């Protein structure tokens, strides 16, 4: 039995060496995508097209590999976001030979004469989950994205616009290596109601940071946030609040109800790197402040919801964590509705400065079967005087947490 040859054909057949061409010409069966097989229409080999049903392809190869010479055609390097790793795992190391070629991402960066050792590469090809892209946006200045017909440049531009991300330039590479090759740079503020030649790839390059953009870190000074005077969860209270939320999982869903300036949501994004934070706020002016702050700190896994709690909560994914930073007279109803859909082993944290709401929170959580814990935080801040420093006390805050 001959090993199955997995050949990366590069951008186009012109990238294939004579050695690889000889291997392809000797094949009894050519396996590949529709586009790849189209390059070898004159081959007398039997053709098997790769579809979304990869299990069927694996079964087909296993059925014929003992009697026939099989060549699998792949793009670029078969082991780089390609089918190669699946075939190695399914057929065994000893039954495959890998022949890498130039990758699309390498060719793309060569076209714009840009080094890519510092680029973060992700693939949305055949994937419906865009969390990897949003996570990359918050962490990397240079990102290459493998696309498909659904996850195309227009979709990526809309995703970034919907998340208020405008500090990247986008380069779209269409049909690289062909006579129809086209390379175009776009500003994310442009209208993307246009068609792109397939296949294509996207490179995102962050625009140089401005004075309005800052790095996010734990325990940031209140003055770094755009907020109304006094209407922000103070840095020290924020630290205790986040510790009570026990953000030990990167994939959590957090509801920040009564988000205010978004300070808690933004610092929580440091821990919830692959999950999503829903910042719900009724005040339109504060919605604008949250948008400004998320852009400033690149906290782009935060979804901003303009709604009067508890309205709109039924449309959100079920939470693993809930933070209630407001509520007033509706606190009982908000706790009942939000905690009623909290996932098992979930945690809710409620901050309040009102004595009446301490009783409301504890009683409501107890009736819902939550185990509760209460902490009062009293902060005194140093204030300069002409010949020394005095302490100025801030309003005490009760932090009530509950576990179901």
The 8-class DSSP code of residue 222 comes to G
Q: Which residues contact 288 (CB under 8 A, 6 or more apart)?
A: none
Joined together, the tokens standing for residue 158 give: 């809309």
Q: Regarding the domain delimited by 222-403, which CATH topology (the fold level of the hierarchy) does it fall under?
A: Rossmann fold (3.40.50)
- At 140, the pLDDT band (50, 70, 90 cuts) reads confident
Q: Report the pLDDT averaged over residues 123-146.
A: 85
Question: Residues 208, 279, 369, CA angle at the centre, nearest 5°?
Answer: 145
User: 99 pairs with which residues across the strands?
Assistant: 7
Pick the CATH number of 105-206 from 3.90.1200.10, 3.10.580.10, 1.10.10.10, 3.30.950.10: 3.30.950.10
For the beta carbon of residue 182, count every other beta carbon within 10 angstroms: 13
Among the residue ranges 27-41, 72-86, 131-145, the one predicted with the least confidence is 131-145
The per-residue pLDDT for 292 is 85
Q: Which regions of the chain carry the CATH code 3.40.50.150?
A: 222-403
Would you say residue 260 has pLDDT above 60?
yes
Q: Which residues contact 238 (CB under 8 A, 6 or more apart)?
A: 219, 263, 264, 267
Question: Residues 122, 321, 132, CA angle at the centre, nearest 5°?
Answer: 5
The 8-class DSSP code of residue 24 comes to H
- At 193, the pLDDT band (50, 70, 90 cuts) reads confident
- At 214, the pLDDT band (50, 70, 90 cuts) reads low
Among the residue ranges 60-69, 98-107, 187-196, the one predicted with the least confidence is 187-196
CA 371 to chain centre: 33
3-state SS class at 363: helix
Joined together, the tokens standing for residue 363 give: 């009683």
pLDDT digits (tens, 9 = 90+) for 351-402: 999 999 999 999 999 999 999 999 999 999 888 888 899 998 888 999 999 9
User: 279 pairs with which residues across the strands?
Assistant: 256, 304
Q: Report the pLDDT averaged over residues 188-212.
A: 79
CA–CA gap between residue 7 and residue 25 (Å, rounded): 12
The per-residue pLDDT for 208 is 64
Determine the CATH number of domain 4-102: 3.40.1010.10
The 8-class DSSP code of residue 341 comes to T
Would you say residue 221 has pLDDT above 90?
no
Would you say residue 278 has pLDDT above 60?
yes
Would you say residue 211 has pLDDT above 50?
no
């Amino acid at each position: 039995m001959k090993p199955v040859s997995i050949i990366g054909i590069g951008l186009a057949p012109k990238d294939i060496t004579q050695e690889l061409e000889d291997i392809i010409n000797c094949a009894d069966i050519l396996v590949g995508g529709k586009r790849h097989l189209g390059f070898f229409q004159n081959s007398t080999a039997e053709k098997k097209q790769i579809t979304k049903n990869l299990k069927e392809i694996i079964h087909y190869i296993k059925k014929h590999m003992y009697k026939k010479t099989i060549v699998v055609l792949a793009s670029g390097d078969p082991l780089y976001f390609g089918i190669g790793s699946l075939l190695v795992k399914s057929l065994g190391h000893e039954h495959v030979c890998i022949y890498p070629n130039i990758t699309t991402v390498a060719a793309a960066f060569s076209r714009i004469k840009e080094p890519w050792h510092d680029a973060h590469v992700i693939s949305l090809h055949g994937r419906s989950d865009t969390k990897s892209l949003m996570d990359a946006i918050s962490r990397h200045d240079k990102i290459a994205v493998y696309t498909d017909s659904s996850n195309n440049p227009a979709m990526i531009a809309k995703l970034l616009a919907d998340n208020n991300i405008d500090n990247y330039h986008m380069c779209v590479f269409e049909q690289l290596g062909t006579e129809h090759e086209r390379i175009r740079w776009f500003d994310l503020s442009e209208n993307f109601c246009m068609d792109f030649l397939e296949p294509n790839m996207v490179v995102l390059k962050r625009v140089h940071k401005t004075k309005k953009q800052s790095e996010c870190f734990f325990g940031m000074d209140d003055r770094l946030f755009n907020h109304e005077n006094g209407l922000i969860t103070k840095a020290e209270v924020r630290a205790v609040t986040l510790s009570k939320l026990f953000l030990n999982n990167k994939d959590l869903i957090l509801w920040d109800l009564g988000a205010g300036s978004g300070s808690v949501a933004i610092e929580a994004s440091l821990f919830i790197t692959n999950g999503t934070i829903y910042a719900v706020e009724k005040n339109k002016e504060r919605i604008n402040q949250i948008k400004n702050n998320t852009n400033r700190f690149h906290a782009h896994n935060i979804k901003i919801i303009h709604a009067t709690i508890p309205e709109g909560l039924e449309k959100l994914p079920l939470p693993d964590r809930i933070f209630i930073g407001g509520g007033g007279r509706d606190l009982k109803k908000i706790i009942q509705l939000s905690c009623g859909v909290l996932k098992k082993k979930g945690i809710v944290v409620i901050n309040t400065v009102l004595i009446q709401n301490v009783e409301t929170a504890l009683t409501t959580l107890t009736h819902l079967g939550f185990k509760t814990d209460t902490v009062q935080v009293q902060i005194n801040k140093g204030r300069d005087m002409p010949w020394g420093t005095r302490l100025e006390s801030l309003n005490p805050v009760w932090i009530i947490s509950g576990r179901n």
